[in-house]
Structure 1
Amino acid sequence: MKQTTHTDYLQHTLKQPIHFIGRGLHTGKHVSLTLHPAAPDTGYVFCRTDLQPPYNVVPARWMTVTETRLSTTIGNNHGVTVTTVEHLVAALFACGVDNCHIEIDGPEIPIMDGSAKPFVEQIIAIGTETQKKKRMALVMKEELWVNEGNASAGIMPFPEPWMDMSIDFKSKAIGQQNISVKLDQKNFSDYICAARTFGFSEHVETMKTLGLAQGGSMRNAILVENDMVANPEGLRFDNEFVRHKMVDAVGDLALLGVHIVGRFVGNRSGHRLNNQLLRKLMYKEDTWALTTLEDAIVNWDQIMEDPARQGWQFEF
């Protein structure tokens, strides 16, 4: 087991730029993407290089989410958007990259192979650089939930970052699946990041009519057809579907901008519900305390026992 070190509590950025090229899943447009090192407290900031500055900058935060239909889209006050950010953001966050300036020459992040694995592999290969600012963390002191129909998402007190996800589809190819893991770089890179996005053959034509899934194929998604997986290579994991839902949740929750020391529980939850949870969380300040990640982990018991402990104010 990896021992926690002092640098684990400090912010990190990339050691050098990383470049990707690919096609957007929904727009079908070919795009060039470059990840750059960024200063402490920058977070994740996108820059549309195909548009004119200064209107082309889009911060990736929970309050800049503008659309959650089939993917997470962020936008700025000038109407500039970046679509399908969740896999990249999940990879950055899980690999310990706190600050990154992201240049993209189109409207959508390339889907790559449909998972976060290509991003994770390159981030690990390049490595990260320690910065002289502490990581912040939100410590859950009370549980908080959002519900929509038979779906729910919540976060409850827990002494370390943890995630539970469960899904239930009528398709026999999927059915009921669940997974529960500690959220750290090793677990994400070993067990989660390679899980691909998925879709159903009966929905393809409708999505294309709506202008979605224009770049989708069995090279970048799992296709479920007649209750069977149509991809010749099959699945990467028996429960690849729920693992991918966890990839999405990691990316969606990373838009909070700080670590969450608590246990996320998603039941049939997706991008919309994940973002609703963060929005409710930010307006229920009595359910959490904001402090440094080191304080959150080392002094979790004391934080939980102190009813007045609220920590710093959250900066939006």
Structure 2
Amino acid sequence: MFQQTIGSRVDFEGVGVHSGLPVRLTLLPAEVDTGIVFHLLEDDGFVHEIPAVSRHSALTDLSTVVGDPRGSHVSTIEHLMAALYAVGIDNVVAQIDAREMPILDGCSAHYVAALNEAGVVRQAAKRRYLRVLKPVRVELNGAYAEYRPHAGTRFEIEIDFANAAIGRQVYRADLTAERFRKDLSTARTFGFMADVERLWAAGYALGSSLENSVVLSDDGRVVNPEGLRFEDEFVRHKALDAVGDQALAGARVLGCYKSYRGGHRLNALALQALLADRKAYEIVEMPSRRVDPVRHAPLVAVAAPAYGPQTL
């Protein structure tokens, strides 16, 4: 019912999955109603403040970006956003010295562990929730996604790939901090060998490796020598994707999100459709007091890629 922040400073170091460049990230406790805000330190010493909400997001091909893609921005924020959303952190300042997040080991596990170590601090202000009131559905190239009313925050994710190592997989669960930690946080990003040279030529995936991605061969083999962390690691990562994409809504969502063959673009289109219909949702403070959504900043989803190698 109340907003939360972290109990202490948290530091990370790594490389960007696309840039391959070193990056330092520091998470700091923040006051109520701050939200998740990036403080980007540019080479000229100027700090750019970039809120991690959809109205500050930009459409990109391979990751979620906040800020101006042609100028000051922070990319590949999905894993951190998913961890903060699942753990229940509302207010954090994220100081970063590069334009791309550290990929770490390709999932949210390091973020979740660090947040748990830092601790969660309850704050005085009430939290806002976005409660789904009626079904909203979108379709895209044979895929679909929908929101529907539900008492909690639920994800029902189904994927269907031609690659023999993946095939058809389903993950369904109500989201809790513990379930996210056990089921989703360690599920890694994945991609296909057939796409690697194309991405390299375009200047992407320069920091990608078997240390931070599951790589699949054309004949359906998992290239990583250690294999998979879960038999269905691929759909678990897609569910992690959905959690991270929903974190940019501007309020915690009470409802069920279901997708078939989904990805970042479809996730975003579904959220856009939900937020575009004022009869489809209401903004509430738990347990029941209604808040007029017109008095708050508009909630607008951001699109990102639907298919191909994922960087979330």
Tell me whether the two structures share a fold, i.e. TM-score over 0.5: yes
Partner of 1:96: 88
Runs ≥4 residues deviating over 4 A: 51-55
Does residue 35 of the first structure (1) align with residue 27 of the second (2)? Answer: yes
Query: Can you list the C-alpha shifts for 1:226-278, whole angstroms capped at 9, x where unaligned?
Result: 21101011000010000001111101101012111100001111111212222
**Which secondary structure state, in structure 2, belongs to the residue aligned with residue 262 of structure 1?**
strand
Pair 1:169 & 2:161 matched = yes
In 1, the alpha carbon distance for the partners of 2:293 and 2:55 equals 19
Contact persistence 1:55–1:78 (CA under 8 A): no
For the pair 1:202 / 2:202, whether they are aligned, the reply is: no
Q: Once structures 1 and 2 are overlaid, which stretch shifts more, 282-291 or 233-242?
A: 282-291
Decide whether the 8 Å contact of 1:68 with 1:272 is kept in 2.
no
1:198 to 1:78, Cα distance in 2 relative to 1, 3 A: closer
Q: How high is the TM-score relative to the length of structure 2?
A: 0.91
1:19 aligned residue: 11
Among 157, 177, 185, which residue is 2:149 paired with? 157
- Partner in structure 1 of residue 131 of structure 2: 139
Measured in 1, the distance between the counterparts of 2:203 and 2:269 equals: 25
Q: Give the superposition deviation at 1:310.
A: 7.3
Match of 1:305 in 2: none
Structure 1 unaligned spans of 5+: 1-8, 297-308
How many Å separate the matches in 1 of 2:50 and 2:245? 16
Q: 1:280: how far off?
A: 2.4
Does structure 2 conserve the Cα–Cα contact (< 8 Å) formed by 1:223 and 1:231? Answer: yes
Q: How far apart in 2 are the matches of 1:241 and 1:77?
A: 28
**Residue 284 (structure 1) aligns with:** 277
**In 2: Cα distance, 1:235 partner to 1:294 partner:** 40
CA contact (8 A) 1:65 1:75 kept: yes
**RMSD, aligned CA:** 1.7
Contact 2:58–2:69, Cα closer than 8 Å, also in 1: no
Q: CA deviation at 1:54?
A: 6.5
Q: Is 1:234 aligned with 2:227?
A: yes
Amino acid at match of 1:87: H
Partner of 2:120: 128
Counterpart in the other structure of 2:297:
315
Contact 1:45–1:102, Cα closer than 8 Å, also in 2: yes
Which of 43-52 and 75-84 deviates more?
Answer: 75-84
- Please give the secondary structure, in 1, of the residue aligned with 2:170: strand
Tell me the TM-score normalised to structure 1 length.
0.90
Paired residue type of 1:169: F
2: CA distance between counterparts of 1:137 and 1:228? 42
- Give 1:54-65 correspondences, 5 Å limit: 56-65=48-57
- Residues 1:119 and 1:145: Cα distance change in structure 2 (over 3 Å): same
Q: Percent identity?
A: 37
Cα pair 1:195 1:236 within 8 Å, conserved? yes
- How many residue pairs are counted as aligned between the two chains? 296
How much has 1:311 moved relative to structure 2? 4.2
Corresponding residue number in structure 2 for 1:255: 248
Q: Is the 8 A contact 2:152 2:254 kept in 1?
A: yes
